[in-house]
Structure 1
Amino acid sequence: MVSLDTIRKDPRWRDPNLREVISMLSHPMDPVKSNAAAYLQHLCYENDTVKQDVRQLRGIPVLVGLLDHPKAEVHRKACGALRNISFGRDNFNKVAIKNSDGIPALLRLLRRTDDVEVRELVTGTLWNLSSHEPLKMIVINHGLQTLTDEIIIPHSGLRGDPNDPARPGAPEWNTVFKNTSGCLRNVSSDGADARQRLRECDALVDALLPALYSAVAKRDINNKSVENCVCILRNLSYHVHKEVPGAEKFHIQAANHSAKPGGHHKKKDESERFGGITSKGKRHGVGEKSGGVDLSRRSLPMKGLELLYQPEVVRLYLSLLKLSQNHNTLEAAAGALQNLSAGHWAWSNYIRATVRKEKGLPVLVELLHSDADKVVRAIAIALRNLAIDHKNKDLIGSYAMRDLVSNLPCGQQRPAKNLEGDTVVAVLNTILEIVSENLENARFLIQGQGVQKLVSINRTSQSVRETKAASHILQMVWAYKDLRHMLCKAGWNKTHFKPAVSSLPKKQRNAKQGNDDITLPLMEKNQGFLNFSHLCVVWRVWIIILCLCVELLHKNTIFRRIKVVLKEVFAFARRVSMFFMLCVCVLCVEF
């Protein structure tokens, strides 16, 4: 009996070359097509050279055409080949699939098949394609609602338990859901237009949140699907206070959130504790009304994008921060709180208060000890935004200052965790926010040995951003006159708090915008050193003096009076010179 093994033993047998395999994709017999596609799938597995050759030999359009083939074996093998071809950093293959109308073809196949393997291949290919920036909006335009309706909603449990429709169903963390949520995670990072499209996608947010609530309840949170869902919600929460329709109705004055001006807060009630519980057992929350939002009158249930910024989501993100061991999930949950607490609108005001009410501040502070750089950075920025609330600022200053300082390097020596420069700057900016207009927090900074590290960073750091941030904090601390005795007693003087002028940039550049939505105060243009205008004043005075000398000598022609006149002139000039030298010294040392 003739078999493939016996044929291979024939000396005339040889493996087909790549061009021949691609030509077999157009063979009239379906088994030949499917076998050729399967062979291409095998050849392209982790082989960038073969992938490039397939593209150059025009094999991709043929494979895309086979996605519409009625035979399951053919379109399944073709989709498997496209998944392997699209995987990797070679974006030319992704673009070639897009140019062959591969994205609409993949979505047509997804809508018409119930085969689990085919769905895994289709969603895996779309996940690969969505990693290329120019293709993200194309995936959204063609497939957002399809992916939501076909995969996210059915597998999230939103439609309820089949045996009891009144009860929410359990999410299915299978490969199809993982691939689809990974695809949506990629496209959600494309920009404001992409975020708004996903927010407005019917039932998307409604499906993701219940799935996460169920995962937390079952302690099943350390998987890729949960990570993807949290990252999607984090991205959709970015700039929500600016981008959601009607956001301007909830905007409030910044002064309502920040600490009271003047820099001297009354000592907070001794009964107030870090978790927000008083000795009488009452929580330091907020009232029913917050910044114009009357939460007690929410008669209609929230849905869609409104669910993103409801205070109830705080408990979800805090639970993830407590329970998850996945650094990406921790970063995303902290980033969601960071985004929701940014800006000055009523909902962010209530989010900040809810974090305090739910005892979330200790949870965040504990994660400052994480070994993951990105987690520490996200936590630091979240604390900075939460500190806009002056009660949070007091609590963070009291209980978290030492933890923040512990993440700072001592000059060129980095901490044991070896944090990146962006993370160090985030920690410095958080400290700046905490000590701003808050004398007690500045005192806690001094007591936590923060001045020593700040002075070292200011003088020895090679990073301009670190030096600038440390300099701002030092200037702010020295501005509190009530603390100068304490500083001098510890061996510090005014020179330690001067900005490192040589390391500052000549011109301020616009910093990259971050999720925290807060900017640093700018330094005065010529602050901290003698500038040209001061020298001009001195020179003008000397010119006036010389002119007076010439005029006096001209009027007094008698030689015997010249000596007397010169003596008076130089005495006057000496007094003027001493006066202006004193002024120059004062200008040089002022901040």
Structure 2
Amino acid sequence: KGGPAPGGWRQPELPEVIAMLSFRLDAVKSNAAAYLQHLCYRNDKVKTEVRKLKGIPVLVGLLDHPKKEVHYGACGALKNISFGKDQDNKIAIKNCDGVPALVRLLRKAHDMDLTEVITGTLWNLSSHDSIKMAIVDHALHALTDEVVIPRSGWEREPNEDSKPRHIEWESVLTNTAGCLRNVSSERSEARRKLRECDGLVDALIYIVQSEIGQKDSDSKLVENCVCLLRNLSYQVHREIPHAERYQETPLAPANNAGPHAASCFGAKKGKDEWFSRGKKLPEDPGADTVDFPKRTTPAKGYELLFQPEVVRIYISLLKESKTPAILEASAGAIQNLCAGSWTYGRCIRSALRQEKGLSAIADLLTHDSERVVKAASGALRNLAVDLRNKELIGKHAIPNLVKNLPGGQQTPAKNLSEDTVVSILNTINEVIVDNLEAAKKLRETQGIEKLVLINKSGNRSEREVRAAALVLQTVWGYKELRKPLEKEGWKKSDFQVNLSSTSRTQGGNSFDDSTLPLIDRNQKSDKKSSREEIQMSTMGPVYLPCPDYSTLNERDHSRTLDRSGDLGDLEPVKAPLMVSS
């Protein structure tokens, strides 16, 4: 690339470079590895050729070489080879025990540049579904013990002066958190192992607190940590040890077809149950206290995922961060924690209100990013199970929820995906069930027009029509609203939609278990975009798009989404290797 080679010399062919990896002189091995890294940079064809020429097992073998210049060069080549459209390269690295070899090298590495290349390679590999559990089984404890805990600044026995401070080795921590973020999306077994990995959750939360303390709420490190915490919060009420001890009997489901004696705080039976819990009625301001379960020892490990401290972290990020992925992950974590009928979910719903978090989430409904809007909608739906939250959300969030629905006169017109529209409709229904004032607000904000349009326009999906019909049925169930609606020209038939027998009641304590933020994904409409990974680098342009999320209760073929962004090399490339012609 740098012009013609000197007379009598030529650049080696790829098979020659791979052969040099096995040469007896270490200097030749290290130069060949560095040159392979250079050749593979943004060149998928060369990466595939290296695999076909059996170069990958040789490079993996060099990871155990005692000299740094050799194993460093080999790891750099593997990092570039593991990044790209050809997923077979990742599989080839895995199949020749590349993950255990990387872990062995990680445990021996003591300098930042080598550790950064190792963790970057693992991050690249972690985007492939079939490699995730191998990383969990072989690399989790090494990444936690060698990188996350020592480089986070978190201490098991904190000193009095051990306050959060500036994070060192930030790029290494970013790689590591990105790798763990990816593998945490795999399955419940992976989430369990990560939650129960000693010190991991503690250090992750400490890192995020430190970054917030340093006024750095938009770093890629924060994004990866918060997305990982969100994944670990998914199904937490079902998956943690002894989960049954926290389960509670939910309040009686609301009658979706027609609320009885509806008020802001539900039907008479709901009030009776509120009394039976030993609570004062929400109308009494003095009743707004949060009774988190009493502890005899400080929370640690996975318990930190659902303590008051983590709620404050998410609220801080919602208020301070400008990064869509961080906003989405914070709202999604809240949505996860508020799913299910369990003690901590009930307490967190109240704590969000006390910490002024409801308005921060409601504000996200106007965000430019659709994924942020959807996450906010899902969080509000689960928060609305709390009766006082339901009243506040009804007063303050209904207008912005309605604005996100298709149709109407607003400009620019909203054109959100089916999943997002259905989420917003479900949230509206959750808020107006047993909440007459919210139903009135829906009518005042042109919500009825949009709902009827969804049902009758003929160009919306069955899921959207069904969700809108449930909201209309709830509205018509309020006898107090029928005359005003009829005066405006609406007919009973506008509110009665024939639903298939498969539709089920959406309102009344139905929880929306949140989504999993997985790996970064292309922002293309084509869902079959090629699986690529993200790699951090120190040179070349860096494109770091926001992550995408996929709902688990949708029948998605993989439950994982990822995205590409071609990033630069790990280091300035050494001079091209020359051989005598």
Aligned partner of 2:373: which letter? V
1:458-506 CA-to-partner distances (Å, cap 9, x unmatched) read: 111321111111111111211222210011011111121121x5xx668
CA 233–386 in structure 1, closer or farther in 2 if over 3 Å, else same: same
CA 306–259 in structure 1, closer or farther in 2 if over 3 Å, else same: farther
Q: Are 1:408 and 1:415, in contact at CA under 8 Å, matched by a contact in 2?
A: no
Q: Does 1:286 align with 2:286?
A: no
Q: Does 1:312 align with 2:309?
A: yes
Q: Does 1:367 align with 2:364?
A: yes
Matched with 1:227 is 223
Matched with 1:239 is 235
Note the C-alpha offset of 1:263.
3.9
Q: Does 1:477 align with 2:475?
A: yes
Q: Are 1:397 and 1:441, in contact at CA under 8 Å, matched by a contact in 2?
A: yes
Q: Does 1:128 align with 2:120?
A: no
Q: Are 1:25 and 1:63, in contact at CA under 8 Å, matched by a contact in 2?
A: yes
Q: Does 1:385 align with 2:372?
A: no
Matched with 2:449 is 452
Q: Are 1:173 and 1:225, in contact at CA under 8 Å, matched by a contact in 2?
A: no
3-state SS in 1 of match to 2:434: coil
Using the alignment, how far apart are the partners of 1:257 and 1:358 within structure 2? 27
Where in structure 2 are the equivalents of 1:19-98 lying within 5 Å?
Answer: 19-98=15-94
1:427-463 CA-to-partner distances (Å, cap 9, x unmatched) read: 1110011112222221221112110000001111321
Using the alignment, how far apart are the partners of 1:154 and 1:427 within structure 2? 43
Aligned counterpart for 2:354 among listed residues 350, 353, 357: 357
Using the alignment, how far apart are the partners of 2:65 and 2:4 within structure 1? 30
Matched with 2:566 is none
Q: Which runs of 5+ in 2 are unaligned?
A: 266-282, 516-550, 554-581
Matched with 2:146 is 150
Which structure dedicates a bigger proportion of its chain to helix?
1
Where in structure 2 are the equivalents of 1:200-215 lying within 5 Å?
Answer: 200-215=196-211
CA 267–141 in structure 1, closer or farther in 2 if over 3 Å, else same: closer
Q: Does 1:338 align with 2:322?
A: no
Note the C-alpha offset of 1:367.
1.1
1:46-105 CA-to-partner distances (Å, cap 9, x unmatched) read: 111100000000000000000000111011100000000001232100000001111011
Aligned partner of 2:181: which letter? R
Matched with 1:515 is 513
Q: Are 1:159 and 1:169, in contact at CA under 8 Å, matched by a contact in 2?
A: no
Aligned partner of 1:398: which letter? K
Using the alignment, how far apart are the partners of 2:9 and 2:552 within structure 1? 70
Where in structure 2 are the equivalents of 1:142-221 lying within 5 Å?
Answer: 142-159=138-155, 166-172=162-168, 174-221=170-217
CA 445–508 in structure 1, closer or farther in 2 if over 3 Å, else same: closer
Q: Does 1:401 align with 2:404?
A: no
Aligned partner of 2:434: which letter? E
Matched with 1:569 is none
Where in structure 2 are the equivalents of 1:518-557 lying within 5 Å?
Answer: none
CA 180–510 in structure 1, closer or farther in 2 if over 3 Å, else same: farther
Where in structure 2 are the equivalents of 1:429-440 lying within 5 Å?
Answer: 429-440=426-437
Using the alignment, how far apart are the partners of 2:305 and 2:3 within structure 1? 64
Greater RCO, 1 or 2 (C-alpha within 8 Å, sep 6+): 2
1:314-338 CA-to-partner distances (Å, cap 9, x unmatched) read: 1110110000000000000000000
CA 519–81 in structure 1, closer or farther in 2 if over 3 Å, else same: closer
1:96-126 CA-to-partner distances (Å, cap 9, x unmatched) read: 0001111011111111121221111100000
Using the alignment, how far apart are the partners of 1:172 and 1:135 within structure 2? 29
Matched with 2:251 is 255
Q: Are 1:263 and 1:436, in contact at CA under 8 Å, matched by a contact in 2?
A: no
Using the alignment, how far apart are the partners of 1:244 and 1:316 within structure 2? 21
Using the alignment, how far apart are the partners of 1:427 and 1:507 within structure 2? 20
Q: Does 1:9 align with 2:12?
A: no
3-state SS in 1 of match to 2:261: coil
CA 282–345 in structure 1, closer or farther in 2 if over 3 Å, else same: same
Q: Are 2:147 and 2:176, in contact at CA under 8 Å, matched by a contact in 1?
A: yes
Note the C-alpha offset of 1:419.
2.0
Higher mean displacement: 214-223 or 346-355: 214-223
Matched with 2:466 is 468
Note the C-alpha offset of 1:13.
2.9
Note the C-alpha offset of 1:423.
1.1
Aligned partner of 1:482: which letter? E
Q: Are 1:283 and 1:357, in contact at CA under 8 Å, matched by a contact in 2?
A: no
Using the alignment, how far apart are the partners of 1:100 and 1:91 within structure 2? 15
Q: Are 2:259 and 2:474, in contact at CA under 8 Å, matched by a contact in 1?
A: no
Q: Are 2:254 and 2:433, in contact at CA under 8 Å, matched by a contact in 1?
A: no
Aligned partner of 1:96: which letter? A
Using the alignment, how far apart are the partners of 1:318 and 1:263 within structure 2? 35
Note the C-alpha offset of 1:159.
2.6
Aligned partner of 1:53: which letter? E
TM-score (norm 1): 0.78
Using the alignment, how far apart are the partners of 1:421 and 1:6 within structure 2? 54
Where in structure 2 are the equivalents of 1:265-284 lying within 5 Å?
Answer: 265-266=262-263
CA 163–298 in structure 1, closer or farther in 2 if over 3 Å, else same: closer
Matched with 1:491 is 489
TM-score (norm 2): 0.80
Q: Are 2:339 and 2:345, in contact at CA under 8 Å, matched by a contact in 1?
A: yes
Using the alignment, how far apart are the partners of 1:247 and 1:29 within structure 2? 58
CA 149–209 in structure 1, closer or farther in 2 if over 3 Å, else same: same
3-state SS in 1 of match to 2:9: coil
3-state SS in 1 of match to 2:308: coil
Using the alignment, how far apart are the partners of 1:20 and 1:173 within structure 2? 37
Note the C-alpha offset of 1:312.
2.6
Q: Are 2:339 and 2:512, in contact at CA under 8 Å, matched by a contact in 1?
A: no
Q: Are 1:259 and 1:388, in contact at CA under 8 Å, matched by a contact in 2?
A: no
Q: Are 1:342 and 1:385, in contact at CA under 8 Å, matched by a contact in 2?
A: yes
Using the alignment, how far apart are the partners of 2:180 and 2:552 within structure 1? 30
Aligned partner of 1:208: which letter? L
1:221-249 CA-to-partner distances (Å, cap 9, x unmatched) read: 11100000000110000111111111111
Using the alignment, how far apart are the partners of 2:59 and 2:190 within structure 1? 29
Note the C-alpha offset of 1:37.
0.7
Q: Which runs of 5+ in 1 are unaligned?
A: 269-279, 521-591
Aligned partner of 1:496: which letter? D
CA 62–388 in structure 1, closer or farther in 2 if over 3 Å, else same: same
Using the alignment, how far apart are the partners of 1:166 and 1:482 within structure 2? 60
Matched with 1:534 is none
CA 206–283 in structure 1, closer or farther in 2 if over 3 Å, else same: farther
3-state SS in 1 of match to 2:207: helix
Q: Are 1:285 and 1:356, in contact at CA under 8 Å, matched by a contact in 2?
A: no
Matched with 1:114 is 110
Matched with 2:557 is none
CA 402–47 in structure 1, closer or farther in 2 if over 3 Å, else same: same
Using the alignment, how far apart are the partners of 1:327 and 1:245 within structure 2? 33
Q: Are 1:238 and 1:339, in contact at CA under 8 Å, matched by a contact in 2?
A: yes
Using the alignment, how far apart are the partners of 2:444 and 2:139 within structure 1? 56
Q: RMSD between aligned alpha carbons?
A: 3.1
